[in-house]
Amino acid sequence: MGIERIQRISKNNFITDYFNNHKPVIFESMFDNRETDSLEKIVGKCEDYKFMVTKEFINNFAETKSFWQTPDYMKLNDYLKFIKTTPGTKKAIRVSKSPEALSNQFKIPEYCHVRNDEVICQSFCANIGNFSRLHFDKFSSHALIYQLTGIKRVVLIPAKASFKLLPTFHLSRVLLENFSDKDRAKFLNFTGGWETILFPGDVLYLPMMMWHHFDYLDTSFSLTFRFGRNKFAEFLEKNCHFDMYLQNIAAFLDQDANKDLSSTIVNEIKNVTDNIELPPDKKFLALKLLYKTLYRKYCTNGESCSYYLSNDIDLSENNSSLIKYLGINRYLRNEG
Ligand SMILES: [Fe+2]
């Protein structure tokens, strides 16, 4: 399914038709800024500012067995030179604070002023062939993504389809970058997802907690305005670990229509996070269980069955019992 494209609408229409329904949309020509419509002009605005550059998170994990990585800090011009000399790199400017000289070129769109939270402007830049793998943002805000230059393909999948996505915490183990166009179209039909191409000047509204994947079809630069985080989502982001169950609970708490239940739900979670008697490992397990209970109570529409084997059952090829019975024993000699 493609994402709807619209021109400017009133803030009230945006809230009722898209924001409240967590429905993505693309605004055409929201900004008209010739000062920043090419990489050269953006480089000119950023001058000596150093952006945070990181590897793709799962690639880094596969290499180092750790999610921790020490970022590089590079001027935009140096990053652009780097991707010319290292064309296959998966390093990118991701989730990096934007320099004021750049963000000041834009008036924050009125759509960002839905709640009384701070609007944060971040920069993203990557080379052709790079990608951001399927994940949702733990920061729990809504976002407007303004494509300044270059093109990228975006895939969005709603939070309610998480049980079809092999999720681990906020990451999916589905590698969409390897799907053929035909398989991806069928997969999006199966998950109720959307796909489109973002062109320069397009502004994508990305609802909070929605799964997203980007393929860079070109070297491209975008700005993300994060906004609309309510106090419940902020509490969860600052105090809790995320998985697909909390993702769906957070999406439920974001709906003003559910605000009568929100304090009750958050207080149940807070009782665990504030319990100083619980050591971190027990707290983690207690929250994991509570998330499932709350999810089944508030967030399912009869779709509570998992599409994958629970992570609690280790069916990996590293499991010693499986290695013995399904692997090594196959080669035992009959000594009798
Ligand atoms: Fe993201």
d(CA 102, ligand 1 centre) in Å: 21
Q: Do 46 and 138 sit in the same domain of this protein?
A: yes
In a domain, 287, yes or no: yes
Mean pLDDT value across residues 208-227: 97
pLDDT digits (tens, 9 = 90+) for 113-160: 999 889 999 999 999 999 999 999 999 999 999 999 999 999 999 999
Residue 62 Cα to ligand 1 midpoint, Å, equals 19
Distance 329 CA to ligand 1 centre (A): 44
What's the 229 CA to ligand 1 centre distance in angstroms? 15
Query: Is the model's pLDDT at 335 over the cut of 70?
Result: no
pLDDT given at position 175: 95
- Do 308 and 200 fall within a single domain? no
Inside any domain, residue 335: no
Asked whether residue 191 falls in the same domain as residue 53, the answer is yes
Total domain count, the chain: 2
- What radius of gyration do the chain's Cα atoms show? 22
Distance of CA 143 from the midpoint of ligand 1 (Å)? 9
Whether residue 234 is contained in a domain is answered as yes
Residues 205 and 235 grouped into a single domain:
no
Residue 89's CATH number: 2.60.120.650
Residue 336 has pLDDT above 60, yes or no: no
Query: 207 C-alpha to center of ligand 1: Å?
Result: 11
Between the CA of 312 and the centroid of ligand 1 the distance, in Å, is: 26
CA of 318 to the centre of ligand 1 (A): 30
Task: Say yes or no: 218 and 309 in one domain.
Answer: no
Distances in whole angstroms, Cα of residue 147 to Cα of each of 14, 70, 205: 19, 27, 11
The per-residue pLDDT for range 99-112, each reduced to its tens digit, is: 999 999 989 999 99
Look at residues 194, 227, 260 and tell me which one is the last residue of a structural domain: 227
**144 CA to centre of ligand 1 in angstroms:** 12
Band of residue 305 on the pLDDT scale cut at 50, 70, 90: confident
Helix (H, G, I), strand (E, B) or coil at 222: strand
Residues 221 and 283 placed together within one structural domain of the fold: no
Co-location of 132 and 50 in the same domain: yes
| pLDDT tens digits for range 243-287 | 999 999 999 999 988 988 999 999 999 999 999 999 999 999 999
Q: Is 210 a domain residue?
A: yes
Residue 136 CA to ligand 1 center (angstroms) comes to 6
Domain edge (last residue) among 227, 246, 271: 227
CB 125 within 8 A of CB 202: no
Say if residue 95 is in the same domain as residue 243: no
In a domain, 325, yes or no: yes
Centre of ligand 1 from the C-alpha of residue 248, in Å: 16
313 versus 122: the higher-pLDDT residue is: 122
Instruction: Give per-residue pLDDT as tens, 284-294.
Output: 999 999 999 99
Q: What is the pLDDT of residue 67?
A: 86
Residue-wise pLDDT for 171-193, tens only, equals 999 999 999 999 999 999 999 99
Ligand 1 centre to CA of 137 (Å) is 5
Q: How far is the CA of 279 from the centre of ligand 1 (A)?
A: 30
Rounded distance from Cα 324 to ligand 1 centre (Å): 40
Q: What is the pLDDT of residues 24-55, one digit of tens each?
A: 999 998 988 777 789 999 999 998 999 999 99
Last residue of a domain, one of 210, 227, 244: 227
Pair 177, 90 in one domain? yes
Range of the structural domain that residue 258 is part of: 230-330
Percent of all residues in the chain with a pLDDT value above 90, rounded to a whole number = 80
Separation of CA 319 and ligand 1 centre (Å)? 32
Structure token pair of residue 12: 């009230």
- Ligand 1 midpoint to CA 135 (Å): 6
191 and 277 part of one domain: no
CA 129 from centre of chain: 19
Place 304 in a pLDDT band, splitting at 50, 70 and 90. Answer: low
Render pLDDT for 58-95 as a digit per residue (tens, 0 to 9). 888 888 999 899 999 999 999 999 999 999 999 999 98
Residue 101 lies in a domain: yes
Q: Are residues 268 and 249 located together in one domain of the fold?
A: yes
Alpha helices in the chain (DSSP H): 11-14, 39-46, 57-64, 76-85, 100-103, 181-191, 231-239, 244-254, 259-273, 280-298, 320-322
Q: Give the Å distance between the CA of 14 and the centre of ligand 1.
A: 22
Query: How much is the pLDDT for 333?
Result: 75
CA distance 311 to 166: 9
Whether residue 321 sits in one domain with residue 201: no
pLDDT of 302 over the 60 cut: no
Q: How far is the CA of 232 from the centre of ligand 1 (A)?
A: 20
Going by pLDDT thresholds of 50, 70 and 90, the confidence category of residue 310 is confident
Q: What is the DSSP letter of 325?
A: I
- Domain-embedded: residue 336: no
- Say yes or no to pLDDT of 239 above 70: yes
Going from the Cα of 57 to the center of ligand 1, the distance in angstroms, rounded, reads 11
8-22 mean pLDDT: 96
